[in-house]
């Protein structure tokens, strides 16, 4: 297993020799195997353990177990006790999302304070397979089929191993670990898949997981190519708030292009399928998403933003791995930066957002009537139209103003004002930076 791990690290160029690494260790079999393997490799390592306080004495015993192991093996260990339920109540998010946010915020803080090169987590190929199924059920599109990957936020060197291989290794070296009792419950979708659904696939084909992981690797590469193609060809059939069907049909992958555009406009998969099957419907027929109306014209669909029927030019989806988008005569650069790279001053045509509060994929679009946000430094809502009046925007400035949308929230008026809920503050550990440049 150690040789296979070395090959995987080398093949994917994940680490450099003697890197200073921080390992997220819960005490479960996956993270303990990760720790045991990296004890045998030429890296400087330390351990970070989060006690979420969700399982009472059991959570405390997990922490004690990890600390004692590290003391025995002379490994630096960082621990953090967090009030997960309090965060759930204050942030109005699920327990899983709260735990993830608290965990990665703290990990990033440790990385910066102690100059760790990378954070390592113990996600393996079965985790990635489960994530793919969850994404399929949630309708996340082709991007969700990539599963779990290594990125600048976390390196996942065990993705080449299955859970069975990890357990076999742990038993072969007499490694001790802690069992999380919550993993046996089927209260969460992931556990239902793990215990009830996916084993049925195992009984049909014993290498299907391996094939799915390979497929996700291929999709990860293909998705970047497809995104470039989409952004390049979108203006050829979608401009002036109209989907020109004749021009769309002249393109390769026309159905996929239309489907991706309609997803960005908030239409459900069921409605999109209905639209695609009825492109020749009579003039005047309409379809609705939560934010847009699609109205049939002679050889086009007119896209009408709800609330006062303001027409939007068009929008684009920002997936987490992207670093640039080009549309509407502008180029948008985006990516993560450390807090230390931000001097607290907002600059024209740039936005600095709290990365851990964002829900990807994001949507970048022209503003529309009815839009509102919570201006930075304020607590109450404000319509963008009122904000423009107060700030004395010219007609031209309003026409060229973009907003960034996360979930249902406008997180910023690009280059002008951040939504207070998503602004950089003392608790921010990673900043998501977006810069608009004219083409």
Using 50, 70 and 90 to split pLDDT, how confident is the model at 141?
low
What DSSP state is assigned to residue 179? -
CA atoms within 13 A on the CB side of 297: 13
Report the predicted TM-score, pTM, of the whole model to 2 decimal places. 0.56
- DSSP string computed for 226-249: HHHHHHHHHHHHEETTEEEHHHHH
Residue 310 has pLDDT above 60, yes or no: no
Question: Which residues belong to CATH 3.50.40.10 in the chain?
Answer: 316-438
**pLDDT > 50? residue 139:** yes
Is 316-438 in CATH node 1.10.3720.10? no
**Is the confidence at residue 315, as pLDDT, over 80?**
no
- The whole-number pLDDT of residue 369 equals 67
pLDDT band at 243 (very low <50, low <70, confident <90, very high): very high
Specify the higher pLDDT residue, 55 or 167. Answer: 167
pLDDT of residue 179: 87
> With 70 as the cut, is the pLDDT of residue 102 above it?
yes
Q: Is the pLDDT of residue 4 over 90?
A: yes
b (16+ CB within 10 A) / e for 386-420:
ebbeeeebeeeeeebbbbbbbeebbbbbbbbbbbe
Burial degree of 220 (CB within 10 A; 0-12, 13-18, 19+): middle
The answer, yes or no, to whether residue 178 has pLDDT greater than 90, is yes
Domain(s) labelled CATH 3.40.50.620 in the chain stretch across 2-216
Rounded Cα distance between 360 and 382, Å, is 24
Residue 345 has what pLDDT?
65
Tell me what the pLDDT averaged over the chain comes to: 85
Q: Tell me, what's the pLDDT at 414?
A: 82
Lowest mean pLDDT among 46-55, 181-190, 273-282, 334-343: 181-190
Q: Pick from 321, 332, 335: which is nearest to 432 by CA?
A: 335
Q: Which residue has the higher pLDDT, 400 or 430?
A: 430
Give SS3 for 166: helix
Q: Which of 347, 336, 334 is nearest to 416 (CA)?
A: 347
pLDDT for res 48: 97
- Give yes or no for a contact between 78 and 51, defined as CB atoms under 8 angstroms apart: no
Sheet strands (E) in 133-211: none
Q: Give residue 311's pLDDT.
A: 35
Whether the CA torsion 157, 162, 167, 173 is positive or negative: it is negative
Considering only residues 285 and 302, tell me which one the structure prediction assigns the higher pLDDT. 302
CATH number of this structure's domain 2-216: 3.40.50.620
DSSP letters along 372-400, please?
Answer: EE-BTT--S-EEHHHHHHHTT--HHHHHT
Which pLDDT value is given to residue 313? 42
Query: For residue 140, what pLDDT band results from cuts at 50, 70 and 90?
Result: low
Beta bridge partners of 295: 286, 302
Stronger pLDDT, 320 or 200, i.e. the higher one: 200
Return d(Cα 31, Cα 396) in angstroms, integer. Answer: 55
- Per-residue confidence (pLDDT) for residue 347, from 0 to 100: 66
Q: How far apart are CA 231 and CA 226, in angstroms?
A: 9
pLDDT number for residue 312: 39
- Rounded to whole angstroms, the Cα distance separating 32 from 52 reads 18
11-50 residue pLDDT tens: 889 999 889 999 999 999 999 999 999 999 999 999 999 9
The percentage of residues in the chain with a pLDDT greater than 90, rounded to a whole number, is 37
Q: Where are the beta strands (DSSP E) in 91-143?
A: 118-120
């Amino acid at each position: 297993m150690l040789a296979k791990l070395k090959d995987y690290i080398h093949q994917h160029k994940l680490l450099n020799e003697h890197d200073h690494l921080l390992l997220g260790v819960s005490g479960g079999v996956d993270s303990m195997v990760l720790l045991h393997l990296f004890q045998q490799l030429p890296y400087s390592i330390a351990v970070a353990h989060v006690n979420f306080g969700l399982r009472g004495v059991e959570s405390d015993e997990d922490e004690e177990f990890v600390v004692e192991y590290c003391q025995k093996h002379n490994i630096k260990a960082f621990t953090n006790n967090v009030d997960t339920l309090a965060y759930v109540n204050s942030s109005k998010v699920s327990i899983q999302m709260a735990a993830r946010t608290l965990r990665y915020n703290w990990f990033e803080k440790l990385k910066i304070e102690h100059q760790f090169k990378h954070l390592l987590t113990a996600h393996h190929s079965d985790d990635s397979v489960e994530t793919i199924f969850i994404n399929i059920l949630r309708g996340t599109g082709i991007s969700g089929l990539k599963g779990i990957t290594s990125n600048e936020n976390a390196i996942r060197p065990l993705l080449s191993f299955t859970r069975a291989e990890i357990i076999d290794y742990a038993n072969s070296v007499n490694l001790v670990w802690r069992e999380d009792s919550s993993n046996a419950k089927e209260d969460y979708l992931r556990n239902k898949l793990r215990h009830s659904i996916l084993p049925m696939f195992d009984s049909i084909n014993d290498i299907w997981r391996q094939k799915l992981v390979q497929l996700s690797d291929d999709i990860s590469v293909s998705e970047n190519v497809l995104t470039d193609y989409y952004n390049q060809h979108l203006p050829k059939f979608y401009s002036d708030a109209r989907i020109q069907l004749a021009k769309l049909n002249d393109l390769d992958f026309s159905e996929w292009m239309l489907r991706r555009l309609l997803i960005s406009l908030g239409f459900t998969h069921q409605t999109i399928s209905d639209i695609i099957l009825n492109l020749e419907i009579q003039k005047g027929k309409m379809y609705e998403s939560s934010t847009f109306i699609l109205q049939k014209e002679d050889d086009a669909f007119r896209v009408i933003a709800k609330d006062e029927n303001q027409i939007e030019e068009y929008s684009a989806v920002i997936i987490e791995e992207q670093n640039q988008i080009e549309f509407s005569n502008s180029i948008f650069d985006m990516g993560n930066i450390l807090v230390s790279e931000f001097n607290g001053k907002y600059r024209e045509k740039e936005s600095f957002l709290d990365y851990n509060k964002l829900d990807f994929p994001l949507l970048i679009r022209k503003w529309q009537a009815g839009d509102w946000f919570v201006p930075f430094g304020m607590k109450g809502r404000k319509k963008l139209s009122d904000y423009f009046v107060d700030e004395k925007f010219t007609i031209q400035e309003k026409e060229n103003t973009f907003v960034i949308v996360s979930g249902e929230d406008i997180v910023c008026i690009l280059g002008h004002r951040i939504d207070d809920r998503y602004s950089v503050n003392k608790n921010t550990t990673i900043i998501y930076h977006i810069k608009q440049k004219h083409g």
